[in-house]
C-alpha cells in the first residue's frame, strides 16, 4: 500500500494540459460571470436565474479542483513554493468576480418573494436551489455594494490575512529552550503527552517562557484581526462577530444558549474527573495544567496501516456497510497520506473534493490506537463529504457546527467498541482516559475559549488589549471553565497565542462548533444504540441535508431538538459511567 496520496485524479502536475485548460476556463468563466452581472437588466428574472446558477456551479467545481490541487500539494510539502504561489494567484483570480457576484446576489434578493415562489414551482433547477436562494435573500441585508465588497476582499489580503499569517509564522518559527536545546513550539507542546512527569513539567515551563519572545507581536495580530471583524460587522449591520458567526452557521442563538447552559450545568462533573486524575498522579489540589494530557493505563499495541484498515473495516462493517465500503476505497485508491516526513504539516485533516466525488486525508500515522481513532475521525468527515456530494454543486457547503458531527460520531463508534472489548484494566484505563481527555477539551477548553473571545470582542471595540491584559482575560476564562479541577497556579495564560482559531479574519468564535459537534454526535450515537439499523437512513439524510437546511432543521430529521437544553444534558450525562469507571480504575472513588 502506498503511504502517500495520489492527486492524479485532479491533475498530474502544473504542466498537465488538463490543469492549464482549467486555468484558462477559470478566466473565461470569470469573464462570463462579469458579463452577466453587467447585463442583468436585459433579461427577465427566470432567464437570469437559469443563466447565473449554471455559471456559479461551473465556477464552484472548477475552483474546487484548482484550489485543492495546490493546497494539498503544499500541505504535503510546505517547501513547495510553486504551490504557495499558485494559491495566491488563484485567490486573486477568484476575487475578480467578487463585485459581479455581489450584484447578481443583490438582484436575486430583490426578486419579490411571490414571484420567486412562482419561478421555483416552474423550474426543477430552482426547486433544488430553494434553500440556497432563500439564504441569498437573507444574506442580502448584510451585503455592501459591489465596490465595497471588492475593496474589502482586496484589502483583506494585506490586512486581516496578513496579521493571521504573522501569527502563524511567529508560532511556527519561535524556538523554546528545552533542557538547553532549541525546540519548535509544536515539538515542546507535544511533550505534554510524554510518560515522564518531569518531562511534562519542564516542557510546560519552556513553552510558557518561549511565548515571552512573541507575545507582543501576536497581541498586535489579535487586536488587528478582531478590530477588523468588529468594524466589518458594523458596516454590514451585525450586532457583533458572534451574531455574524451564528448567521453564517445557520444556527439560532437559542440553540447556542441551550448548549452553553447545559455545559455550565454539567461542568463540575468534569472537574471531578480532573481532580481524580490529579490525585492519581499525586496532586492533592487539582490537576496541574502540564498533566492534562498525561497518559494513563497502557494500550501499547502497534498497528500497521493494513492492520488499521482491517480494524476499521471490521468495526464499521458491522455498523454501516456503506461507510465501510467508502473507507476501503480510500485506503485502496491512495486517498490517504499516512506517515510523517520532513516538510509535511502536522496533525490530520480531510479535504472533500466534490468535483471528482472524492476526498483526501492527511494524517501522521504512528501505529498507535490513537492513530486508528484519528483515521476513523477523518474518514467520518469523508463520509459526510460523500453524502453531500450527491447534492448539486452550490448545495455542498455545510456550516461549522455540523462539520464535526460525522467525524466525532465515528470516534464514539470506535471508542465504545474498544471499551467493551478491552482485555485488561490497563487497556480499559487508557481508553477511558483517552475519551475523557478528549471530551474535557471540547467542554472545558472550548468553553474557556468562548468566554475569552467574547470578552476580547466586547473590549476591543473601545481599547487596545496588550499582551498582559490578554493573559489576564485568558486566566479569568480558564478559572470559570476549569473550576477547581485544575491547580490554580498552573493555568495557561498564553493559550491565546498558540491557538490559530482566534486568527481567522472572516471566522470569529471558531470554538463552540467543536462542543456542538461533539455533543450532537454523542446524542446521535445514543439514538443509534436505541434504534439500531433503523437509525442509519435518517443519519444519512441528516448529513445530506446539512448544506440545505438550518442546523435546527437538519437535526430534526433525526428527531432531535437542539434548542432543548435537555438534549445536551443527556449527551453530557452519557459520560458519567466513563468518569465513574475512570475513578474506579484509578482507585479514586
Per-residue pLDDT of 210-259, as tens digits, reads 999 999 999 999 999 999 999 999 999 999 999 999 999 999 999 999 99
Strands 181-184 and 175-178: antiparallel
* Inter-residue contact 165 to 152 (CB < 8 Å): no
User: Rounded to whole angstroms, what are the CA distances from 421 to 418, 424, 486?
Assistant: 5, 9, 32
pLDDT surpassing 80 at residue 1 = no
CA contacts within 13 A on the Cβ side of 95? 17
What is residue 556's predicted lDDT score, i.e. its pLDDT? 98
Residue with cell 447565473: 52
* Inter-residue contact 377 to 308 (CB < 8 Å): no
pLDDT bin (cut points 50, 70, 90) of residue 155 is confident
**282-306 per-position pLDDT tens digit:** 999 999 999 999 999 987 789 999 9
Q: Please name the residues in contact with 498: beta carbons below 8 A apart, sequence gap of 6 or more.
A: 171, 185, 189, 211
pLDDT surpassing 90 at residue 278 = yes
Using alpha carbons only, how large is the chain's radius of gyration in Å? Answer: 24
pLDDT surpassing 80 at residue 589 = no
What is residue 376's predicted lDDT score, i.e. its pLDDT? 97
pLDDT surpassing 80 at residue 525 = yes
pLDDT bin (cut points 50, 70, 90) of residue 343 is confident
Q: Exposed, middle or buried: residue 205 (CB in 10 Å: 0-12, 13-18, 19+)?
A: middle
Distance of CA 287 to the CA centre of its chain: 28
* Inter-residue contact 70 to 86 (CB < 8 Å): yes
First-to-last alpha carbon distance for the chain, in angstroms, is: 47
What is residue 213's predicted lDDT score, i.e. its pLDDT? 95
Q: Exposed, middle or buried: residue 239 (CB in 10 Å: 0-12, 13-18, 19+)?
A: exposed
Helix (H, G, I), strand (E, B) or coil at 499: coil
Residues 260, 356: Cα–Cα separation, whole Å: 39
What is residue 386's predicted lDDT score, i.e. its pLDDT? 95
Neighbours of 352 (CB within 10 A): 21
Provide mean pLDDT across the span 391-410: 94
* Inter-residue contact 265 to 443 (CB < 8 Å): no
pLDDT bin (cut points 50, 70, 90) of residue 153 is confident
Helix (H, G, I), strand (E, B) or coil at 486: strand
pTM of the model as a whole: 0.92
**25-46 per-position pLDDT tens digit:** 999 999 999 999 999 999 999 9
Provide mean pLDDT across the span 328-334: 97
For every residue of 483-546, DSSP letters joined together read GGGB-GGG--TTHHHH-GGGG-TT----SHHHHHHHHHHHHHHHHHHHHGGGHHHHHHHHHHHT
Residues 250, 415: Cα–Cα separation, whole Å: 30
User: Rounded to whole angstroms, what are the CA distances from 13 to 6, 25, 192?
Assistant: 11, 17, 40
Provide mean pLDDT across the span 322-328: 97
What is residue 158's predicted lDDT score, i.e. its pLDDT? 86
Q: Which one, of 62, 11, 4, lies nearest residue 33 by Cα?
A: 62
What is residue 455's predicted lDDT score, i.e. its pLDDT? 98
Type and span of the H or E element at 152: helix 146-158
Residues 586, 589: Cα–Cα separation, whole Å: 8
What is residue 342's predicted lDDT score, i.e. its pLDDT? 85
The fold adopted by the segment(s) 17-155 is Butyryl-CoA Dehydrogenase, subunit A; domain 3 (1.20.140)
Provide mean pLDDT across the span 124-137: 97
Provide mean pLDDT across the span 198-216: 97
Provide mean pLDDT across the span 143-168: 87
What is residue 471's predicted lDDT score, i.e. its pLDDT? 98
Residues 344, 459: Cα–Cα separation, whole Å: 38
CA contacts within 13 A on the Cβ side of 499? 19
Q: Where in the chain is the domain with CATH 1.20.140.70?
A: 17-155
What is residue 253's predicted lDDT score, i.e. its pLDDT? 98
pLDDT bin (cut points 50, 70, 90) of residue 163 is very high
Q: What percent of the chain has pLDDT over 90?
A: 88
**428-441 per-position pLDDT tens digit:** 999 999 999 999 99
What is residue 164's predicted lDDT score, i.e. its pLDDT? 92
Question: What phi, psi does 419 have (nearest 5°)?
Answer: -65, -40
What is residue 347's predicted lDDT score, i.e. its pLDDT? 83
Question: Which residues are bridge partners to 351 per DSSP?
Answer: 360
pLDDT surpassing 90 at residue 154 = no
**Cell numbers placing 218:** 501576536
Amino acid at each position: 500500500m502506498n503511504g502517500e496520496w495520489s492527486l492524479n485524479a485532479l491533475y498530474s502536475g502544473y504542466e498537465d494540459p488538463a490543469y492549464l485548460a482549467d486555468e484558462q476556463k477559470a478566466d473565461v468563466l470569470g469573464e462570463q460571470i462579469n458579463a452577466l452581472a453587467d447585463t442583468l437588466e436585459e433579461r427577465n428574472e427566470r432567464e437570469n436565474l437559469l443563466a447565473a446558477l449554471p455559471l456559479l456551479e461551473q465556477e464552484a467545481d472548477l475552483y474546487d479542483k484548482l484550489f485543492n490541487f495546490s493546497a494539498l500539494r503544499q500541505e504535503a510539502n510546505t517547501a513547495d513554493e510553486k504551490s504557495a504561489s499558485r494559491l495566491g494567484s488563484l485567490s486573486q483570480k477568484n476575487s475578480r468576480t467578487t463585485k459581479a457576484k455581489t450584484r447578481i446576489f443583490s438582484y436575486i434578493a430583490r426578486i419579490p418573494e411571490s414571484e420567486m415562489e412562482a419561478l421555483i414551482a416552474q423550474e426543477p433547477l430552482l426547486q433544488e436551489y430553494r434553500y440556497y436562494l432563500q439564504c441569498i435573500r437573507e444574506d442580502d441585508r448584510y451585503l455592501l455594494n459591489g465596490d465595497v465588497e471588492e475593496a474589502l476582499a482586496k484589502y483583506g489580503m494585506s490586512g486581516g490575512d496578513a496579521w493571521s499569517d504573522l501569527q502563524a509564522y511567529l508560532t511556527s518559527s519561535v524556538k523554546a529552550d528545552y533542557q538547553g536545546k532549541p525546540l519548535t513550539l509544536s515539538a515542546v507542546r507535544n511533550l505534554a503527552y510524554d510518560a515522564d512527569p518531569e518531562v511534562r513539567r519542564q516542557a510546560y515551563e519552556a513553552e510558557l517562557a518561549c511565548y515571552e519572545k512573541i507575545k507582543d507581536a501576536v497581541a498586535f495580530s489579535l487586536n488587528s484581526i478582531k478590530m477588523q471583524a468588529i468594524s466589518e460587522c458594523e458596516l454590514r449591520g451585525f450586532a457583533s462577530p458572534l451574531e455574524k458567526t451564528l448567521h453564517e452557521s445557520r444556527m439560532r442563538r437559542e440553540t447556542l444558549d441551550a448548549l452553553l447552559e447545559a455545559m455550565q450545568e454539567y461542568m463540575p462533573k468534569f472537574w471531578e474527573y480532573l481532580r481524580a486524575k490529579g490525585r492519581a498522579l499525586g496532586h492533592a489540589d487539582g490537576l496541574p495544567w502540564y498533566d492534562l494530557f498525561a497518559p494513563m493505563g497502557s494500550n501499547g499495541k502497534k498497528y500497521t496501516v493494513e492492520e488499521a484498515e482491517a480494524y476499521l473495516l471490521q468495526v464499521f462493517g458491522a455498523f454501516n456497510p456503506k461507510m465501510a465500503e467508502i473507507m476501503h476505497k480510500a485506503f485502496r485508491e491512495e486517498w490517504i497520506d499516512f506517515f510523517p516526513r520532513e516538510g509535511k504539516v502536522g496533525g490530520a485533516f480531510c479535504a472533500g473534493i466534490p468535483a471528482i466525488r472524492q476526498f483526501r486525508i492527511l494524517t501522521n500515522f504512528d501505529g498507535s490506537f490513537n492513530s486508528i481513532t484519528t483515521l476513523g475521525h477523518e474518514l467520518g468527515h469523508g463520509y459526510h463529504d460523500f453524502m453531500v456530494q450527491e447534492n448539486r454543486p452550490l448545495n455542498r457547503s455545510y456550516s461549522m457546527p455540523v462539520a464535526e458531527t460525522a467525524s466525532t460520531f465515528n470516534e464514539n463508534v470506535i471508542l465504545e467498541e474498544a471499551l467493551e472489548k478491552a482485555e485488561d484494566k490497563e487497556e480499559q484505563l487508557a481508553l477511558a482516559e483517552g475519551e475523557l481527555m478528549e471530551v474535557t477539551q471540547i467542554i472545558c477548553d472550548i468553553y474557556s475559549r468562548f468566554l475569552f473571545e467574547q470578552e476580547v470582542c466586547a473590549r476591543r471595540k473601545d481599547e487596545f488589549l496588550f499582551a498582559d491584559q490578554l493573559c489576564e482575560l485568558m486566566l479569568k476564562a480558564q478559572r470559570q471553565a476549569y473550576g477547581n479541577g485544575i491547580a490554580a497556579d498552573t493555568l495557561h495564560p498564553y493559550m491565546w497565542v498558540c491557538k490559530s482559531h482566534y486568527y481567522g479574519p472572516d471566522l470569529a468564535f471558531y470554538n463552540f462548533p467543536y462542543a456542538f459537534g461533539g455533543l450532537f454526535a454523542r446524542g446521535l450515537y445514543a439514538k443509534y444504540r436505541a434504534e439500531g439499523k433503523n437509525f442509519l437512513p435518517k443519519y444519512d439524510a441528516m448529513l445530506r441535508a446539512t448544506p440545505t437546511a438550518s442546523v435546527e432543521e437538519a437535526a430534526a430529521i433525526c428527531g432531535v431538538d437542539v434548542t432543548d437544553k435537555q438534549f445536551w444534558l443527556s449527551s453530557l450525562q452519557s459520560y458519567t459511567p466513563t468518569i465513574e469507571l475512570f475513578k474506579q480504575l484509578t482507585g479514586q472513588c
